[in-house]
Structure 1
């Protein structure tokens, strides 16, 4: 079994925030341009309905804030060079979550 993608992880979290079970199976949405109802419609996990929102949330984090950059820099266990992602990434996300607003 492979690890879920970041898009899936965020989509599942967004689903859970809405107090919904991400693993619940629901009907596949029918695009607006399709006027004919398909029966029975295939079932998909509910979290998949949050993928678009998940992608938007991740894209919004593409450019780190000053606080995130500072946290990533300070996460360096070495005195020289850049912090490895395994240290910088969690520190930067924690800084983002700590920001007001």
Structure 2
């Protein structure tokens, strides 16, 4: 990808929009996710072909932010502890 001011502006706008969707999280979790998101977006942006956009590659900024929620290292222990915990009451599925 050719790094131009217009391309940097597009990447920054996408990143800022995605980050706004993470604003309501606890600060520790948000900072972890934002750091990972920024690194990921920089890597993806560096590999974009001419005419390709982050949105075409990753989906909307909203979708990207939602996907990032599943990858927080801060949440790993919580996810592990609660994903394998026995439910407090019987769970019935059809």
TM over 0.5: no
Greater strand share, structure number: 1
The TM-score with structure 2 as length reference comes to 0.30
TM-score by length of 1: 0.28
Compare the two structures and name the one with the higher helix fraction.
Answer: 2
Bigger relative contact order, structure 1 or 2, given CA contacts below 8 A and separation 6+? 2
